[in-house]
Amino acid sequence: MLIVDDCIISDNLVEVCFCCDIDKCKGACCVEGDCGAPLDKNEIPVLEKIYPIVKKYMTPEGVAVIEKDGVSSIDVDGLPCTPLVDNCQCAYAIVEDGITLCAIEKAFRKGEIDYPKPISCHLYPVRIEDFGEFKAVNYHEWDICRCAVAKGKSSGVPLYKYLKKPLVRRFGEEWYDELCEQCEGKSW
């Protein structure tokens, strides 16, 4: 286990190699599961602000869910998450060329908004759990990402390096630099 600031970080971030292989998984993480992607409470006003821009990229079913229930939902633990279409696919999910992608990310890549997507989506397969005094930063192992683990192993990219951009987005450059220093200084 590693500790950076108030975060307890699973060794899996160093030990597991990972590189998303969307051509094989087809974006299943946006479709499968029992609830939407976790949201930080601060992300809800952002989603409300960008929704009018993102809406044009969404499916009619996703738009209907947002129009009826709002830009966020509440999961079984009472925490905010993205809403789902038919208790399955994220309301923000779109399909292009047989691959499920994010309408929010599409608007971001086109330069229409400055918010890439919910941080939990950007960080996946890492999940952050807030315990007040500390945060747990853990790898969420899921069968649908087996191809990403295989691709990561073949390229030799540890999870913490693969997720540099979202980790910096969430915790900052200094935090990430400290994580790298600890990862490279520890004998695995």
For the whole prediction, is pTM greater than 0.75?
A: yes
Q: pLDDT of 146-170, one tens digit each? A: 999 999 999 999 999 999 999 999 9
The pair of structure tokens assigned to 139 is: 């790898």
Number of H helices and E strands in the chain, helices first, is: 10, 10
Q: Where are the domains of the chain?
A: 1-18+125-188, 26-116
pLDDT value of position 166: 97
The reported pLDDT for the residue numbered 110 is 97
Tell me: the pLDDT tens digits for 72-129? Answer: 999 988 999 999 998 889 999 999 999 999 999 999 999 999 999 999 999 999 999 9
- 111-132 residues labelled b (16+ CB within 10 A) or e (exposed): eebebbbbbbbbbbbbebeeee
d(CA 133, CA 151): 36
